[in-house]
């Protein structure tokens, strides 16, 4: 199986890069400083078609298919947006992978017709309500409840660290909740669509985060929030499995965001090392600096290839002779683990190359340094990825 980019993919990459350089790069530092979520630019991403890369034309998408490499196109877009601003990169990743994808994959025809057109157009956003104060990596420990009463789900509980959940254009959040007890005695977890204007649903004030300052992230509370019984997303009791499958795709997308971060570090370091002089020569002539930048190139190429391979596997899964879900899951975890840990290392190296200037907020490596750490945490921590990889090798790890 080849995962080299096609000519069409390369042309698409250039078009997204042009957009990112023109519409995002000039403003990213100020957005970060102001903790500003630029709804207008998010909507422009939708107008460019970035939200609809994996959606059918009937919902306003570009009609991209696995044969076209639609998922690979999404990863390229996330990489290029993330190269100039990680906040906008995660906004795109979450909008498609965590907002649109669950409805597209598990929704009824009515749910798709109701919610997808505006989401795909970038007019609105959807959140992905999984994590709770006591249920992060252990998502099975969900405590949020949804009781079916007189034809309505009554939702009570809380979620935390939810992206795209409290913006002015957020239209809904899909929420995992306990809806009963299975025959085996375990909690039955289902997924419920909760519209943003539902009484009893509150997006609490946005977090004051270390990084991703221009990304919209909120804790959520649900107090007797009533939604129709028809807002059940997918099969009752399958919510946990649905969200795990959603996270497999999301891990590759996060790896793509990490690749964008490493590329930015490399770009900035090469430019700076060619201009900054000490002892009468550019610092790039010093092996101590040059070798560190060479390491960035190695990490970039390895991370990019692992990510593109996993994306290509996703695109090939439905074809004859394509990889299995198990093989894709393993590739997704490998790409996510290596690329995100490399991104954190890359930002540390870039800060070191910049020296004292690397500690000043006016230089972009500072923002990259702050933004990178969460890549090792979101959509499955590094520890979870190692556990999944070990299980994939047949080890009985708990």
Give pLDDT, residue 398: 81
Distance (Å, rounded) from C-alpha 102 to C-alpha 96? 9
Confidence of residue 318 (pLDDT cuts 50, 70, 90): low
Residue 48 reports pLDDT greater than 80: yes
CATH number at residue 190: 2.40.110.10
Are residue 199 and residue 217 in the same domain, yes or no? yes
What does the pLDDT average to over 62-81? 91
Give the contacts of 77 (CB within 8 A, at least 6 positions apart).
12, 16, 50, 53, 92
Classify residue 60 as left (phi > 0), alpha (psi -120 to 50) or beta.
left
pLDDT at 183: 79
> Would the pLDDT of 195 be above 90?
yes
> Which pLDDT band, with edges at 50, 70 and 90, does 29 fall under?
very high
Q: Establish if 2 belongs to a structural domain.
A: no
Spatial CB neighbours of 362, under 8 Å, sequence gap ≥ 6: 29
Does 144 reside within a domain?
yes
**What are the Cα distances from residue 156, in Å, to 148, 176, 202, 312?**
12, 11, 11, 40
Q: Are 387 and 247 in a shared domain?
A: yes
Give the integer Cα–Cα distance in Å for 398 and 276: 50
Q: Are residues 260 and 314 in the same domain?
A: yes
Q: Are residues 250 and 376 in the same domain?
A: yes
Closest CA to 168 of 105, 129, 125: 125
Q: Is the pLDDT of residue 277 over 90?
A: yes
DSSP character string of 68-90: TTHHHHHHHHHHHHHHH-HHHHH
Tell me what the mean pLDDT of segment 192-215 comes to. 98
Type and span of the H or E element at 277: strand 277-278
Which helix or strand (DSSP H or E) is residue 189 part of? strand 187-195
Q: Which domain CATH number covers 385?
A: 1.20.140.10
Does residue 253 sit in the same domain as residue 232?
A: no
Domain boundary among 69, 92, 125: 125
| Beta-carbon count within 10 A of 200 CB | 15
- Among the residue ranges 13-22, 184-193, 204-213, the one predicted with the least confidence is 184-193
Least confident of 52-61, 215-224, 310-319, 362-371: 310-319
Range of the domain at 194: 127-237
State the Cα angle at 365 between 363 and 367, rounded to 5°. 90
The DSSP call for residue 95 is I
| Torsion angles phi and psi, residue 219, rounded to 5 | -80, 150
Instruction: Please check the confidence at residue 32 and state whether its pLDDT lies above 70.
Output: yes
Average pLDDT for the chain = 95
Angle of helix 86-93 versus helix 70-84 axis, rounded to 10: 150
Please report the pLDDT score of residue 322 as a whole number.
85
The span from the first CA to the last CA of the chain, in angstroms, equals: 32
Q: H helices of the chain, where?
A: 7-19, 28-34, 39-47, 70-84, 86-93, 101-106, 109-121, 239-275, 287-316, 325-354, 364-372, 382-392
Say whether both 293 and 358 belong to one domain.
yes
Q: Is 280 within a domain?
A: yes
Active-site option among 58, 297, 379, 383:
379
Asked if residue 67 is part of any domain, the answer here is: yes
Q: Does residue 305 surpass a pLDDT of 70? A: yes
- Are 255 and 340 contacting, i.e. CB atoms less than 8 angstroms apart? yes
Q: What is the pLDDT of residue 317?
A: 86
Tens of pLDDT, residue by residue over 122-166, are 999 999 999 999 887 776 789 999 999 999 999 999 999 999 999
The answer to whether residues 248 and 373 belong to one domain is yes
Q: 3 pLDDT band (50/70/90 cuts)? A: low
CATH of the domain at 75: 1.10.540.10
Which domain-ending residue is among 82, 101, 125?
125
Confidence of residue 85 (pLDDT cuts 50, 70, 90): very high
Q: What percent of the chain has pLDDT over 90?
A: 89
- Residues contacting residue 378 through CB under 8 Å, at least 6 positions apart: 90, 161, 254
pLDDT of 2:
56
Q: What is the pLDDT of residue 140?
A: 72
Kindly state whether residues 48 and 131 are assigned to the same domain: no
Using the 3D structure, point to which of 74, 100, 125 is the last residue of a domain: 125
Q: State residue 66's pLDDT score.
A: 73
Provide the pLDDT confidence category of residue 80 given band limits of 50, 70 and 90. very high
Same domain for 80 and 35, yes or no, is yes
CA distances from 240 to 174, 191, 243, 261 (A): 12, 8, 5, 31
- The per-residue pLDDT for 1 is 52
Buried b (16+ CB within 10 A) or exposed e, 246-260: bbbbbbbbbbbbbbb
What are the start-end ranges of the H helices in 198-238? none
Percent of the chain with pLDDT over 70: 98
pLDDT category, 200, cuts 50, 70, 90?
A: very high
Looking at the fold, whether 245 and 348 belong to one and the same domain comes out as yes
Top-confidence residue, 330 or 245: 330
379 catalytically annotated = yes
Same-domain check for residues 350 and 388? yes
Q: Do 136 and 231 fall within a single domain? A: yes
Check residues 87 and 181 and name the one with the higher pLDDT: 87
Task: Give the count of domains, the chain.
Answer: 3
């Amino acid at each position: 199986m080849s995962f080299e980019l096609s000519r069409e993919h390369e042309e698409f990459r250039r078009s997204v890069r042009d957009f990112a350089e023109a519409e995002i790069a000039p403003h990213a530092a100020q957005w970060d400083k102001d903790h500003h979520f630029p709804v207008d630019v998010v909507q422009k991403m939708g107008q460019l078609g970035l939200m609809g890369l994996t959606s059918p034309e009937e919902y306003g998408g570009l009609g991209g298919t696995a044969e076209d490499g639609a998922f690979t196109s999404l990863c390229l877009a996330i990489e290029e947006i993330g190269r100039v601003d990680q906040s906008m990169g995660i906004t795109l990743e979450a909008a498609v992978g965590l907002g649109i994808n669950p409805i597209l994959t598990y929704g009824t025809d009515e749910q798709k017709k109701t919610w997808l057109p505006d989401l795909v157009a970038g007019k609105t956003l959807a959140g992905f309500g999984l994590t709770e104060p006591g249920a992060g990596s252990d998502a099975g420990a969900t405590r949020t409840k949804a009781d079916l009463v007189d034809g309505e789900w009554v939702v009570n509980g809380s979620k935390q660290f939810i992206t795209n959940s409290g913006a002015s254009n957020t239209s809904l959040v899909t929420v995992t909740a306990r809806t009963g007890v299975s025959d085996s005695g375990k909690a039955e977890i289902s997924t419920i669509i909760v519209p943003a204007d539902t009484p009893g649903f509150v997006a609490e004030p946005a977090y004051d985060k270390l990084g991703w300052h221009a990304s919209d992230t909120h804790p959520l509370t649900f107090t007797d929030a009533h939604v129709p019984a028809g807002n059940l997303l997918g099969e009752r009791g399958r919510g946990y499995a649905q969200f795990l499958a959603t996270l497999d795709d999301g891990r590759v997308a996060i790896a793509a965001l990490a690749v964008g971060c490493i590329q930015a570090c490399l770009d900035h370091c090469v430019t700076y090392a060619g201009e900054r002089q000490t002892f009468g020569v550019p610092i790039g002539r010093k092996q101590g600096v040059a070798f560190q930048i060479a390491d960035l190139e190695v990490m970039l190429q390895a991370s990019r290839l692992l990510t593109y391979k996993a994306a290509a596997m996703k695109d090939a899964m439905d074809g004859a002779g394509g990889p299995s879900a198990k093989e894709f899951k393993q590739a997704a975890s490998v790409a996510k683990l290596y690329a995100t840990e490399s991104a954190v290392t890359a930002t540390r190296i870039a800060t070191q190359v910049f020296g004292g200037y690397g500690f000043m907020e006016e230089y972009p490596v500072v923002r990259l340094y702050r933004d990178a750490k969460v890549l090792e945490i979101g959509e499955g921590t590094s520890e979870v990825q190692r556990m999944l990889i070990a299980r994939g090798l047949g080890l009985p790890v708990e």
